[in-house]
Amino acid sequence: MFSGSLCAIVTPFKKGTIDEEALRNLIEFQIQNGTKGIVPCGTTGESATMSHEEHRRVIDITVEVVNKRVPVIAGTGSNSTNEALLLTRYAKEAGADGALLITPYYIKPTQEGLFRHYRQVADGVDIPQILYNVPGRTCVSISPETVARLAAHPNIVAIKDATASLDYASEIHSLCDIAILSGNDSLNLPLLSIGAKGAISVAANVIPRQVSDMIDLFLAGNTKKSEELHKKIFPLVRTLFIETNPIPVKAALEMMGMIGGEIRMPLTPLSDKAASQLRAEMEKLDLI
């Protein structure tokens, strides 16, 4: 259902509030440059620092601006099952095409707890849902066996794999037919090679056309040109994670004149040393 380059879009802020004009411009920039879907209110969108009111507003703006041109997949996960249900229900009512649900962080549920959490949300809201496994941030991982159990639910259509493990994705692929979406930009190409359908990309914020073309070329069978693009953009991709995401990607967009540099505590602005490295890689691709 969801494939290609799906941008995990940043949330621009201005004087402590959402910069709605900049957000609208970013969304338009993505669509005009080949992005196949917009993912607001994810990790890159600093959802953990937003109020529920802000969360809902970002979803509303995204749905409005996109206007059905590409899918909108709203981040609606939470460490509370009831809160995830409420956010997912809102996303559906607002007109989103899907929901992205992170594993419950801090709680450290068992595999049975993870299964029941996702099943309850999938039972409660009739909208396509993507599991989001990023154990480096949540300290819990959905086992491939649990993914296979959840894949039997008609509303659970994909998993965003941010484990950085090709073995993990391969095991899921061997157990069920759920769509796998890369959650690590540096591994987009390797994951495509073992059956992934696309990526929920951070780098697409900065280089939407290149990320989209790389994935489209691979899915169309032109693996050689896809590999060439991967090699070309890889140094920038790596640098976009030189500090905690989304610090570098927001700094890159500021360098491009697309947003202000505001980021919410406890995240801090990109260090001078890292900014110099990022600028150098961006200059190589003629982005600034």
Domain boundaries, the chain: 4-220
Q: Tens digit of pLDDT for each residue in 173-183?
A: 999 999 999 99
pTM here? 0.96
Q: How high is the pLDDT of residue 1?
A: 79
Catalytically active residues are 132, 160
Fold adopted by 4-220? TIM Barrel (3.20.20)
Backbone torsions φ then ψ of 180, nearest 5 degrees: -105, 130
Q: Which residues of the chain have pLDDT under 50?
A: none
